[in-house]
Amino acid sequence: MIQIGTLIPPHQFEVNRALLKQYADASGDQNPIHQDENFAKSVGLPDVIAHGMLTMALAGKYVSDWAGGPQNVKEFSARFTKPVVVPAGKSVDLTVSATVIEVTAAGVRLEISATSQGTKVLGMAKALVVQGN
Amino acid sequence: MLNPDSVGRTFAGVDVITVTQEEINSFAAVIGEKNTSIAPPTFSIRISLREFESILTKPEIGLDWTRLVHGDQKFEIYRPIVAGDSLTTSATIENYKVAAGNEIVTVRSDLFNADEKVVSSWSTLVVRA
């Protein structure tokens, strides 16, 4: 029985430069701020940052898994509040968790939390899922 | 600066985009999704962001894509995208404002397979001052 307030166990993804390159190729977003450290710093960023949409795609995988598959995700939204900073030669975490905030005939609404290195990177992140299809 | 006359306008995409299994596989592989019979929930950004770039950077619209960051994103998925879908797109500039020198534009993308609406999405894009 899914009730309002149900906490969904967190999952930790690993994000590194290789994953950013893989996402750039898969999504078509080749913006150099996600691949080139010198370019990223030249535009005032601390280092290479992950695509916001990569963060959202990984959070979407977390939601899909909980919902029983990607076919059950009906709505998904997020605000990109802080970048996921990805230094060379190491992996950083993207830690995703969620809470059930609404249960209706339309489905289950989740409020999603996503942090990297202790910093909240998504704001107002929500999904509407149906379960068991 | 974005031409304010463009706000509220809808632009039809020129191309029909046929989704391939390979594209879905590549996108799914990034996030570790093993079910590749349908596209992951955020897959349509691959289509809509490219569409937005081609529309918003037209000389008569005038957005500077080089200073762009993604502010927020929303998807409404009416059914999952599958390989073989032939998608037509339309993009609507729904909102525009300037705050602290940053241009903030909200664009909606609607993807159709023939007459069936498959995904609507909203992207708020910020051109940094």
Subunit contact A53:B39, Cβ cutoff 8 A = no
Judge whether A71 lies within some domain.
yes
Give yes or no for residue A1 having a pLDDT over 80.
Answer: no
How many Å apart are CA A130 and CA A127, to the nearest integer? Answer: 10
Helix (H) or strand (E) holding A22, with range, is: helix A17-27
Three-state DSSP state, A126: strand
- Residue whose entry in the numeric block shows the structure tokens 């909102």: B95
- Hey, which CATH number is domain B4-127, 3.60.15.10, 3.30.9.10, 3.10.20.740, 3.10.129.10? 3.10.129.10
Q: Helices A52-67 & B21-31, crossing angle to 10 degrees?
A: 90
Query: What's the domain range around A76?
Result: 7-15+49-129
Candidate from A58, A61, A70 with C-beta closest to B80:
A70
Q: Determine contact, residues B50/B116, Cβ cutoff 8 Å.
A: no
How many Å apart are CA B105 and CA B64, to the nearest integer? Answer: 12
**A-interface mutation test, from B15, B68, B72, most A Cβ less than 10 A away:** B72
Average pLDDT over chain B, rounded to an integer: 94
Cβ contacts (< 8 Å) between B31 and chain A: which residues? Answer: 57-58, 60-61
Give yes or no for residue B69 having a pLDDT over 90.
Answer: no
Quick check: B32 contacting A, CB < 8 Å? yes
Lowest mean pLDDT among A1-10, B42-51, B63-72, B106-115: B63-72
How far B123 CA lies from chain A's nearest CA (Å)?
10
- CATH value at residue A76: 3.10.129.10
Subunit contact B46:A28, Cβ cutoff 8 A = yes
Judge whether A22 lies within some domain.
no
| pLDDT band for position B2 (cuts 50, 70, 90) | confident
Kindly identify which residue of chain A lies nearest to residue B39, measuring between CA atoms.
A70
How many Å apart are CA B95 and CA B99, to the nearest integer? Answer: 13
Quick check: B26 contacting A, CB < 8 Å? yes
Could you tell me the sign of the dihedral formed by the alpha carbons of A48, A51, A52, A57, in that order? negative
Give yes or no for residue B109 having a pLDDT over 90.
Answer: yes
Using a pLDDT cut of 90, give the percent of chain B over it.
Answer: 74
Sequence-ordered alpha helix ranges (H) in chain B? 21-31, 45-56
Q: What is the CA radius of gyration of chain B?
A: 15
DSSP track, A52-84:
HHHHHHHHHHHHHHHHTSGGGEEEEEEEE-S--
Quick check: A56 contacting B, CB < 8 Å? yes
Distances (CA, A) of A115 to A37, A128, B123: 22, 20, 21
| B2 compared with A128, residue with greater pLDDT | A128
ipTM of the complex: 0.96
| pLDDT band for position A131 (cuts 50, 70, 90) | confident
Subunit contact B41:A76, Cβ cutoff 8 A = yes
Three-state DSSP state, A17: helix
Could you tell me the sign of the dihedral formed by the alpha carbons of B108, A43, B128, B65, in that order? negative
* Number of domains into which chain A is organized: 1
Give yes or no for residue B76 having a pLDDT over 70.
Answer: yes
Helix (H) or strand (E) holding A39, with range, is: helix A37-42
Q: Determine contact, residues B6/B61, Cβ cutoff 8 Å.
A: yes
